[in-house]
């Protein structure tokens, strides 16, 4: 493999436990009773119509009665039709009043009322009954998909154990205030976000990341709602209300993602608005045109064929199953710790040809450690390090954290006029004297001379200058993430090109590229340089995904076709900026996200192809006089149900 490394020139009231439990039991009983009432109201009309239809067909075909004739027979079927037909006719009327004349409700109303007009009463009731059953099952499928997603993510208990005056009190998690202290026993799930007050603890973070590997935390680390305590009792100080937890934001994000429509979905909706009036026009033509050509024209026969045509042509299988397919894909991604902000981004992921990776925090851990310190003169070491530590308190870069960890978090240095120079480092004044901390380019910009060759230093280097003089440097190293090389390999196996961009020095970028087998890597880039590189790749007609931290790389995310943020678990800003958020910082989720996009698009097109193929076959059979209303019902409701079943399997698909 030929490798190309370039530099920037070429790159949430306290109550007793018993009262609390009684309250929750009562709450659950209310939920169950409402759920049962809701199900009854959904099923009752269909069951009533089904009983009357079966009885009517029994009187018609198997055990005839003299009285079941004329207006009695008609009234019987009308009564059977009303529970399932009235809501459809009502929706058709409301659609017409709003300018949406040619809806699927309109088609089914015409077809079934037409069947009554030619005295095919059982078929008219049957078509509307099965259409209603199909719509009911579609509604249940959507509810189940949403419920599955919520179950996958909303792992929070409704009760939390709060420490009040050194007493453990159970109370509703939604009533726990910020800054209160909660206790978490081994095996319990955290109900709210907070910080660990105990010295250490180990947690299962699967609810947030999709990975069940133990996650060791120490005092001061964040513990989020949904995490499971694995060993000793720990104390956690609440930092966010119940409804403001990271987990709740994830749930809202995924459940609202369906509002962002994919191009295929938008096309089908636009297609249905054009397709339906054409279908009505063709049905009218099927009814009347044969009058001019048929040797023996019988209106009833051709009208019946037109009604069959209308039932077959109903586009509900496409209009319902396609968005459900995308919703299934969003749910599958969520289960794997990947948040996708809309079905449109699933489509983009499916077509990604080029993945551009930021180095720090994406390929590497983003956890730097100081390796070497060279201060000139040596006797000024402590003073210089204290000044460097003080100015780095104004930065959120991982390098600043490494320096704080090395020097300590206390400083008495007073700084003035502190500013961050993008792509270069920090500048400030101590007692009126200029302090520069950053890369060697920063020193050159301020005319500070140095006799060090930056290229000869392998690790990331932080240059220091004080009062216009070179004061030495600090070297810092970062570790490559365990699955980074595997992720790159999988992307290449999917025929996706990979490029790494970094503001780090050439030798560091070269080393990371070597260890991960990245073919194209660019070093020493300023934020603007990264944007230009992405633009040049986009100009080659390639669909680009940019992967970064979601904050510092906002311009790059903005111009790419899909922006993927790593480490969204700890960053609200990442969730706001990116189109896709990988919760656990694992680069292996990048090819997984692309695979989920591809599988979702595959299922959607399977549904489109199946719906059109079956409808076309039954249409031909109907034109030949072979298909009846019963086959037409299958071509409509049956196809819709098959498409829904195909779409919902995405929620349970095992992605590798």
Rounded CA-CA distance 648/330 in Å is 11
Cα–Cα distance list, 320 to 42, 96, 269 (Å): 18, 20, 10
Give the angle 100-101-102 at the CA atoms, nearest 5°: 105
HEC string for 416-449: EEEEEECCCEEEEEECCEEEEEECHHHHHHCCCC
- Which residues does the annotation mark as catalytic? 358
Rounded CA-CA distance 643/650 in Å is 12
Rounded CA-CA distance 504/397 in Å is 13
**For the purposes of burial, counting CB atoms within 10 Å of the CB of 65, is it exposed (0-12), middle (13-18) or buried (19 or more)?**
exposed
Question: Rounded to the nearest 10 degrees, how much is the dihedral formed by the CA atoms of 128, 130, 136, 142?
Answer: -120
Longest distance between any two alpha carbons in the chain, whole Å: 116
Q: Token digits for 357? A: 């990776």
Q: What is the CA radius of gyration of the chain?
A: 33
Beta strand pairing call for 354-358 and 469-477:
unpaired
Q: Phi then psi for 540, rounded to 5 degrees?
A: -85, 15
Beta partners for 370? 476
Cα–Cα distance list, 330 to 149, 154, 320, 596, 648 (Å): 9, 15, 16, 9, 11
């Amino acid at each position: 493999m030929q490798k190309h490394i370039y530099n920037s020139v070429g790159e949430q009231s306290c109550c007793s436990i018993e009262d609390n439990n009684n309250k929750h039991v009562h709450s659950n009983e209310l939920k169950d009773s409402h759920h049962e009432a809701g199900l009854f109201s959904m099923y009752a009309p269909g069951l009533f119509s089904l009983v009357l239809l079966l009885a009517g067909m029994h009187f018609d075909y198997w055990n005839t009665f003299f009285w079941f004739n004329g207006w009695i027979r008609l009234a019987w079927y009308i009564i059977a039709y009303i529970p399932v037909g009235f809501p459809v006719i009502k929706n058709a009327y409301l659609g017409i009043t709003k300018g949406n004349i040619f809806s699927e409700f309109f088609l089914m109303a015409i077809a079934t009322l037409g069947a009554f007009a030619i005295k095919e009463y059982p078929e008219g009731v049957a078509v509307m009954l099965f259409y209603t059953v199909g719509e009911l099952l579609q509604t249940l499928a959507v509810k189940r998909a949403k419920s599955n997603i919520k179950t996958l993510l909303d792992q929070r208990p409704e009760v939390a154990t709060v420490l009040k005056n050194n007493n453990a009190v159970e109370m509703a998690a939604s009533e726990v205030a910020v800054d209160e202290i909660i206790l978490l026993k081994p095996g319990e799930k955290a109900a709210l976000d907070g910080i660990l007050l105990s010295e250490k603890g180990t947690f299962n973070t699967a609810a947030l990341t999709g990975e069940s590997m133990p996650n060791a935390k120490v005092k001061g680390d964040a513990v989020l709602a949904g995490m499971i305590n694995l060993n000793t009792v720990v104390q956690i100080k609440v930092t966010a209300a119940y409804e403001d937890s990271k987990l709740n934001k994830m749930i809202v994000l995924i459940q609202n993602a369906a509002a962002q429509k994919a191009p295929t979905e938008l096309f089908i909706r636009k297609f249905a608005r054009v397709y339906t009036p054409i279908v009505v026009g063709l049905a009218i033509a099927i009814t009347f045109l044969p009058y001019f050509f048929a040797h023996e024209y019988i209106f009833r026969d051709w009208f019946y064929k037109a009604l069959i045509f209308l039932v077959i042509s109903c586009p509900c299988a496409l209009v319902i199953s396609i968005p459900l397919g995308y919703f299934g894909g969003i749910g599958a991604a969520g289960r794997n710790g990947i948040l996708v902000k809309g079905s449109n981004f699933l489509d983009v992921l499916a077509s990604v040809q080029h993945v551009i990776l930021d180095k720090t925090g994406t390929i590497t851990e983003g956890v730097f450690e100081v390796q070497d310190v060279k201060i000139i003169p040596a006797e000024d070491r402590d003073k210089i390090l204290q000044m460097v530590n003080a100015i780095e308190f104004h930065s959120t870069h991982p390098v600043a954290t490494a320096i704080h960890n090395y020097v300590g978090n206390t400083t008495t240095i007073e700084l003035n006029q502190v500013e961050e120079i993008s792509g270069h480092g920090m500048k400030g004044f101590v007692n009126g004297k200029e302090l520069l901390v950053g890369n060697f380019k920063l020193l050159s910009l301020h005319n500070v001379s140095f006799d060090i060759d930056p290229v000869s230093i392998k690790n990331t280097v932080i240059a220091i200058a004080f009062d216009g003089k070179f004061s030495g440097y600090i070297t810092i190293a970062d570790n490559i993430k365990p699955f980074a090389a595997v992720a790159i390999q999988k992307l290449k196996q999917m025929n996706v090109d990979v490029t790494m961009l970094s503001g780090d020095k050439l030798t560091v970028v070269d080393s990371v590229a070597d260890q991960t087998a990245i073919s194209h890597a660019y070093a020493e880039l300023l934020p603007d340089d990264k944007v230009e590189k992405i633009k040049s790749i986009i100009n080659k007609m390639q669909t680009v995904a940019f992967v970064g931290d979601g904050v510092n790389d906002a311009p790059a995310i903005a111009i790419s076709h899909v922006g993927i943020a790593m480490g969204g678990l700890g960053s609200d800003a990442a969730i706001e900026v990116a189109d896709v958020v990988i919760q656990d910082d694992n680069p292996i989720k990048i090819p997984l996200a692309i695979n989920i996009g591809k599988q979702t698009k595959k299922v959607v097109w399977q549904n489109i192809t199946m719906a059109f193929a079956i409808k076309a076959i039954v249409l031909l059979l109907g034109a030949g006089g072979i298909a009846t209303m019963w086959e037409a019902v299958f071509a409509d409701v049956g196809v819709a149900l098959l498409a829904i079943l195909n779409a919902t399997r995405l929620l349970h698909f095992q992605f590798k």
